[in-house]
Amino acid sequence: VAVQLRTELERAGLQLIDDQSEPFDPNRHEAAISEPADDDSEGPIVAEVLRTGYAWNGRVLRAAMVKVKG
């Protein structure tokens, strides 16, 4: 049932925000934990998604809570 509900919501425009290994975007992500970078990366990267976020037709409903490196 949960899979069917998720499928129907995605078909209607719901998008999951699960951006692991993507650049940190304060409009889509809420940084809960920050760690120093292992190398000279260009900016903060989402190291781990702690709580999935949601967007509806491109508008963020709930930011993803993430651990950031860098």
Q: Give per-residue pLDDT as tens, 38-66.
A: 776 678 999 999 999 999 988 999 999 99
Report the pLDDT value the prediction gives residue 41, as an integer from 0 to 100: 65
Fold held by 2-69: Nucleotide Exchange Factor Grpe; Chain A, domain 2 (2.30.22)
- How high does pLDDT run on average in the chain? 91
Characterize 27-66 residue by residue with b for buried, 16 or more Cβ atoms within 10 angstroms of its Cβ, and e for exposed: ebbeeeeeeeeeeeeeebbbbebeeebbbeeeebeebbbb
Report the pLDDT value the prediction gives residue 39, as an integer from 0 to 100: 74
Domain ranges of the chain: 2-69
